[in-house]
Amino acid sequence: MKKTVLFVLTILSSLHAFPQDKAADLADLGPGDYFPDVVLDGIRDFSAEKVSLKDYRGKWVFLDFWSKNCGACISSFPHINALQKKFNGQVQYFLVGKEDPENEIRKKYDRFKKTLNLEIAHTFDSSLFKRLDISTCPYVIIIDPKGQVYDFTIGLTADNITTLLSGKQPLLTKAYREHESRPLQYDLDKDAVSDDSTLIFKSALNKWNPLIKGSRNLSIILENGKFQSIADNISNLYVLAYLGRHPIDYRDSAYGYVCDTPILEIADKKKFMASEPDDLYCYRLTLPYYKNTPADVMRAMQNDLKNYFGYDVAMEERTMPYWKLVATDEAKRKLKTKGEKPVYKATDTSLLVRNFPVRKIFRCFSTLPVPVIDETGINTNIDILIHYLPMNLEEIQKGLAAHGLHLLEGTKKIKVLVIRDPVYPGIEN
């Protein structure tokens, strides 16, 4: 009898001592489960070629899975590189690439590593993708200092990591594995009187939570007289109300003449630009059929935002930075199209434009924080093949310079949205 009791106690003790064995099948891992003692092998750009994840208890670990055809993954590399440096000693990133038969992913990473000066610990392991049932990328597994799975997401920001380190819960975009079902969401209007024939006008502002259906709107688009933007911050709502779209890209006639990033002359800028759940909103508007154009929506939003938040807003002309694209005389001659069939082909590292206007190459500049204005003086269609990396300004400039095109810094007066704290007569701010 004593031996039986001792045997049972030994089993219970071992279960308590090794909680990481709770989820032996990686595909069934969920938040709160201890991540098994997975060994990463063949690690590059790190102090060791092989590591055991159990050795990182006491530190946040981010396993960031990517594949060679995932553009969002590749564009995040400079961001991840900066985050690892910023939070070094507190967090540890490991990039895990999905191997392909042609071994192209290793070559692609090496190319980006060299030009972007990446120093991220990385390895390639297709078997881990299968064990974890990961079918789409980007996919990030967050492991807390206790060795437990915190969550699964598609990417992290500096604010997210700061929030994690402070012991609070950040807003994360949930990532799902192949076998996982998405949580049921609800429509904010499901119990509303939206079908009431007597309803003429309605606007509403709700606090957002992840179970609410819908997403942030980037432009004023009405459906049956209704407009909504879900999970939006205050800044984006103001941009929609006054500019009607965000961002203003190179295909827009206002590009380079209207700035889509507001100037904030307010005390609490962080809350205004927030990305955390407590500071995100759901804005909904219903208009009558005779007054439901985008311009009508914008006017209604402007009034609503003034009533809701009280900020003073004005469109002003300010001197702002921009890039000007110029061309040498030789480039103007050489780039002139030969008149062949128009071709436009973009990859991660190149852009082929044949028999199109100069503005067609502006895709190269989509990651730049300020606009680019064509000052080349080229009025004909052009033929050009540019080799570049969109996340790296020097690489963009190098690719252009090979054809006699140059990006130069400049400033010019541009219309910009200026948002200020309200001033009340007789009250000091």
What pLDDT, in 10s, does the model give residues 130-179?
999 998 999 999 999 999 999 999 999 998 999 999 999 888 888 888 77
Q: What angle do CA 167, 171, 173 make, to 5 degrees?
A: 130
Q: 227, exposed or middle or buried, with CB in 10 Å at 0-12, 13-18, 19+?
A: buried
State which H helix or E strand residue 417 sits in: strand 405-420
CA distances from 241 to 10, 219, 267, 295 (A): 66, 9, 21, 9
Rounded CA-CA distance 70/137 in Å is 7
Strand partners, 88: 91
Structure tokens belonging to residue 366: 């989509």
Do 373 and 324 touch, CB atoms closer than 8 A?
Answer: yes
- Please give the chain's pLDDT, 429 residues, in tens: 444 444 433 433 333 333 444 444 688 889 999 999 899 999 999 999 999 998 999 999 999 999 998 988 998 999 999 999 999 999 999 999 999 888 899 999 998 998 889 999 999 999 999 999 998 999 999 999 999 999 999 999 998 999 999 999 888 888 888 777 778 888 887 655 455 667 788 999 999 988 898 999 999 999 888 999 999 999 999 999 999 998 898 889 899 899 999 999 999 888 787 766 678 999 999 999 888 899 999 999 999 999 999 999 999 999 999 999 999 999 999 999 999 999 999 987 899 999 999 999 998 888 888 899 999 999 999 999 999 887 888 889 999 999 999 999 999 999 999 999 987 765 555
Q: Is the peptide bond before 247 cis (omega within 30 degrees of 0)?
A: yes
The reported pLDDT for the residue numbered 270 is 80
The reported pLDDT for the residue numbered 71 is 85
CA distances from 104 to 98, 109, 351, 357 (A): 10, 9, 19, 33
Any residues with CB less than 8 A from the CB of 395 and at least 6 apart, and which? Answer: 115, 388, 389
Rounded CA-CA distance 115/49 in Å is 23
What pLDDT, in 10s, does the model give residues 105-126?
999 999 899 888 999 999 999 9
Q: CATH homologous superfamily for 19-165?
A: Glutaredoxin (3.40.30.10)
Question: Which of 406, 427, 397, 421 shows the shortest CA–CA distance to 115?
Answer: 397
The reported pLDDT for the residue numbered 293 is 92
Question: Which of 221, 237, 260 shows the shortest CA–CA distance to 370?
Answer: 260
N-terminal to C-terminal alpha carbon distance within the chain: 79
Say which amino acid occupies 429.
N
The reported pLDDT for the residue numbered 407 is 96
The reported pLDDT for the residue numbered 195 is 59
Please state the domain extents for the chain: 19-165, 202-310, 320-415
How many alpha carbons fall within 13 Å on the CB side of residue 110?
7
